[in-house]
A and B are shown apart, each in its own frame.
Chain A
Amino acid sequence: MDGNERISRLLLKQEVDEFLYYEADLLDARRYDDWLALLADDVRYWMPMRRNVKVDDLEREFTREGRDISWFDEGKQTLTRRVRQIQTGIHWAEEPVSRISHVISNIRLLEANPSWAEPAEVAVGCRFLVYRNRVETETDILVGKREDLLRRVEGELKITRRRILLDQNVLLSKNLTFFF
């Protein structure tokens, strides 16, 4: 990687960091319409379930996207419906609204296409910690890894693909009425 390329990569990393933190802020501030605007129209949003399997059988650890039942296997249309449901004000699982914080860390740029200097697409890995507290004492902490594919559309980054790998087997939360 030459000097220019390293600077391009550094700038891109800075832009991606800010983008993901901004996204987390939108979700935590319940600015769902602004959040939806960050999603590409063809976005894939997938959160598999995870099995306990033998170490030599690890390809069966995750349920398969588009084949098996998962926690989420969504496109923009159904994500929009989920937002609209929260916005009805009578979605009792989120009314009264939950207090949610998304903590995003370990952000790493994995790949840029076609180049670091002019990336049309960039793959990003990170960790998430989603903290939800609602009503009085009800508290969920969900931690895991995320792999995002971001695409530049008219200069702006958009989320094109999100894989959410939650570090749980039996889901310890009664429901998943929030976004990752």
Chain B
Amino acid sequence: MATTRKDGYRPGLVDISAGQVSREIFVNEEIYREELERLFARVWLFVGHESQIPKPGDYFVSGMGEESVILCRDRAGKVHVFLNSCRHRGMKVCRYDEGNTPVFTCPYHGWSYGTDGQLVGVPYFREAYHEKLDRSRWGLVEVPRTYLYKGTVWACWDSAAPPFLEYLGDFVRYLDLTLDGWDGSEGGTEILGGIQKWRIPCNWKFPAENFCGDSYHNISHRSVDLVGIGPSGTGRRDMRERQMARRLQVAFYERGHQTGVYLFPKDQATPPSYQHSPEVSEYFAHCEEERRKKRGEWGRLIGSPGEIFPNTALHPRQPRTIAVWHPRGAHQTEVWRWYVVDSAAPQEVKDFLRDYYIRYSGPGGMTEQDDMENWNYAHAASRGTIARRYPYSYEQGLGFETENYEWQGLRIPGTVMDITDAKSSEHNLRNLYRRWAEFMEAESWGELATWRLARAAE
């Protein structure tokens, strides 16, 4: 092993063909700084939900990478995302988490900005500036790209990035598994009040790769499985339905998105779940039927954890959640989690699900608590000079990927690994690092949007 090395990222740290990833990319502070530039400043990031800002003047302070941003609906109803930093000398313009306001007034010297970001008030504009300051040039820095999709709000700093739906590609169908109602109704979801925010002492990629579909780590959740918090009231966290379904991992090589899915057999109804609560059981049985009617073959599919590249995690089954892994230095992550329910569900069902979500997810969640312990100490034990010399292993299922996967008449978009018999694979995790390395190496979106090159060559 050579002892001299370049400080930051270099090709070879991620070796997909060998299924190995260097520990450097998790613990190296120089690589972390490069990530902020090459990754977080170029990708589409989840910033919130429209239902958090229903009225003109409503705002929600969110984050993109390390930076604070204001998600805001202006007086005309248009949604904006602004950098939460005063143009005058940097003060955080808004230090509330959410609210409604006609203007954002900077606490420091009193510049004020309209909800459309325009600089509308400058103390001593006449006396001190002699009316020479060009106010039109000193509005809040606005994130140039935003996109609203089924209630969710996405933003991207890079004007050269492809539009959000092109960034997703066919993966949008998997995002729909989180955002559509369980009965298949388009965008039939809402978020519950209260966004959980907490810190974990680990690199942001530990939770990110876990949510890409670490199907191998179930064993770490044995304590909760023994005790039982399953929505069916039985011993397991999971529903019985997974036993009859094909279990697939789906990765989009060119995009970096991935998810797990359960694919039900063609002519078999979903077994009942949530059985100790008749109302809830009935609601989900009804939704299962409706979804199959509305969505046809596609209605046989339900999601399991997935990730929109790079740091938006989807948990499409109950507990339905969207989580963002905000980087806070190489050694710390701040998680923000939104909880999702069907808008059309009766209150009783929403209440039941809320209780289940709190019991399962987040710092108080009996399942996730153990994940945080693992990410914390995996990171800590990888920081040493010697430890860094040994790569992590992501070899499960290498070479067993399938293109054009089809089962009982439904073709599944993406590159698929069927883990029904294999139990587990690291297919989806490899895909995260495949794309991550491309971002660390590519100088422009021209190189990253490879699907466009293929189309141009045709």
Contacts and interface: CB of A to CB of B under 8 A. Distances in A.
Which 9 residue pairs of A and B lie closest in terms of their CB atoms, listed nearest first?
A: A69-B194, A68-B193, A171-B198, A63-B194, A91-B223, A68-B194, A93-B369, A93-B373, A175-B369
Given A53-B99, A82-B366, A93-B369, A69 B357 contact: yes
B377 interface: yes
Contacts of B222: 88, 90
B224 A172 contact: no
Given A67-B193, A92-B220, A174-B199, A72 B358 contact: yes
A51 B94 CA distance: 13
A113 interface: no
A169 interface: yes
Contacts of B339: 69
Contacts of A99: none
Interface in B185-213: 192-201
Main secondary structure of the interface of A (DSSP, over half): loop
Contacts of B368: 175
9 contacts: A52-B95, A81-B228, A81-B229, A82-B366, A85-B224, A88-B223, A171-B198, A175-B364, A176-B363
A135 B194 CA distance: 31
B96 interface: yes
Given A84-B227, A174-B199, A49 B194 contact: yes
Interface string A60-80: 100110111111110000100
A54 B96 CA distance: 7
Contacts of B357: 69
A53 B96 contact: yes
Interface residues of A, number: 40
Interface of B: 95-99, 192-201, 220, 222-224, 226-229, 334, 339, 351, 354-355, 357-359, 362-364, 366, 368-370, 372-374, 376-377
A28 B220 CA distance: 26
Given A52-B95, A69-B194, A92 B199 contact: no
Given A69-B194, A92-B374, 16 more contacts: A47-B364, A60-B98, A63-B194, A68-B193, A71-B196, A73-B354, A84-B226, A88-B222, A91-B224, A93-B369, A135-B377, A170-B197, A170-B198, A171-B198, A174-B363, A176-B363
Contacts of A73: 354-355, 358
A177 interface: yes
A115 interface: no
Contacts of B372: 93, 174-175
A173 interface: yes
A174 B201 contact: yes
A49 B196 contact: yes
A57 interface: yes
A69 B197 contact: no
A63 B362 CA distance: 15
B345 to A, nearest CB: 14
Nearest to A81: B227
B103 to A, nearest CB: 13
Contact of A81 (B95, B99, B364, B366): B366
A52 B96 contact: yes
Contact of B226 (A57, A88, A175): A88
Nearest to A47: B364
B72 to A, nearest CB: 15
Contacts of A92: 220, 223, 370, 373-374
B376 A174 contact: yes
Contact of A69 (B97, B196, B373): B196
B334 A78 contact: no
A72 B227 contact: no
A57 B227 CA distance: 41
Contact of B99 (A47, A57, A88): A57
